[in-house]
């Protein structure tokens, strides 16, 4: 890897006209100059694409899907359209700390066998005012996201290791990040930076994701990622049913049991029957 490797910051955007400019500006303010931004608009029907196009330059590549394909397809295409030796995803409503890329590059250069580096992040309100500090954990040699679930923003990956995996599954509607983390830890070393490099914005649309339906749907896709990891690793699958129940219970923490029965039990059973 070069002394100053190019970093590809990947933004998959759908209907985020209100915040996407802030996400892009946070990359343009980086203290590390060797980067590109790859933005793919997933056929937004708001003003997102018009705003994004205003940033197009030699360092900012803009693409648009011919129809709405969803996050799995769009994130995979982001990687395919990029050329950096290191890449990371930035959600189109979030922002990076100004030293995020330089900190990540330093860690990657220190360990050539490192496939993935992750950090701490801030929970913020819609105005990006910090609400909570989310401290993750030291990775270590026995670390596995499959056991701890601690990998989170900001995550950067070395392309040379990503190319050893099957890549992001374009069929995944949610939990592409977990699926990617499992695959990356299977081919290299995971490292942790004890610093806050990512601002996660909570706003009207993100609040809707906290509904019972959204939480259950998210857990179901996450479980699919876990199940796929079990298959790849040849692990004993006898505890998969227990994992599934624990994940459903976690999704219900803020909701009563009768709401689950009323709103989602049919969907959960139908999904199980399709397995």
Together in a domain, 214 and 202: no
Provide the residue range defining the domain that includes 221.
209-274
Q: Mind listing the pLDDT tens digit for each residue in 36-51?
A: 999 999 999 999 999 9
**% of the chain beyond a pLDDT of 90:** 71
- Residue 113: the pLDDT is 96
Same domain as 73, residue 156? yes
Are 199 and 213 members of one domain?
A: no
Same domain, 200 and 73: yes
If asked whether residues 175 and 153 sit together in one domain, one would say yes
Same domain, 107 and 224: no
Q: Pick from 170, 188, 206: which residue ends a domain? A: 206
Question: Torsions phi, psi of 92, nearest 5?
Answer: -70, -5
Does 137 lie in the same domain as 47? yes
> Which CATH number covers residue 65?
3.90.550.10
Among 85-89, 196-200, 214-218, the least confident range: 214-218
Is 23 part of any domain?
yes
β partners of residue 158: 86
Domain count, the chain: 2
Question: How high is the pLDDT of residue 259?
Answer: 53
Residue 2: inside a domain: no
Give the pLDDT confidence of 212-250 residue by residue, as tens digits: 677 788 888 999 999 999 999 999 888 887 777 777 766
Q: What percent of the chain has pLDDT over 70?
A: 86
pTM of the shown model = 0.88
């Amino acid at each position: 890897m070069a002394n100053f490797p190019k970093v590809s910051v990947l933004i998959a955007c759908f209907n985020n006209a209100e915040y996407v400019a802030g996400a892009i500006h946070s990359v343009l303010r980086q203290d590390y100059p060797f980067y590109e931004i790859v933005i793919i608009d997933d056929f937004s029907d708001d003003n997102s694409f018009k705003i994004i196009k205003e940033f197009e330059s030699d360092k900012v590549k803009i693409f648009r899907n011919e129809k709405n394909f969803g996050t799995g397809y769009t994130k995979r295409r982001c990687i395919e359209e990029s050329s950096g030796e290191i890449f990371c995803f930035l959600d189109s409503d979030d922002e990076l700390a100004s030293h995020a890329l330089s900190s990540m590059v330093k860690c990657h250069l220190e360990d050539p066998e490192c496939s993935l580096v992750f950090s701490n992040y801030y929970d913020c309100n819609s105005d990006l005012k910090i609400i909570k500090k989310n401290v993750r954990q030291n990775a270590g040699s026995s670390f596995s996201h499959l056991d701890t679930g601690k990998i989170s923003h900001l995550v950067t990956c070395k392309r040379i290791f990503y190319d050893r995996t099957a890549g992001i599954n374009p069929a995944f509607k949610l939990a592409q990040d977990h699926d990617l983390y499992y695959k990356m830890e299977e081919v290299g070393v995971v490292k942790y930076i004890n610093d806050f490099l990512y601002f996660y914005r909570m706003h009207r649309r993100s609040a809707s994701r906290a509904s019972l339906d959204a939480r259950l749907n998210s857990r179901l896709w996450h479980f699919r990622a876990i199940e796929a990891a079990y298959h790849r690793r040849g692990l004993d699958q006898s505890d998969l049913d227990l994992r599934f129940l624990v994940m459903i219970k976690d999704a219900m923490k803020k909701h009563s049991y009768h709401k689950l029965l009323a709103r989602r039990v049919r969907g959960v059973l139908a999904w199980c029957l399709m397995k």
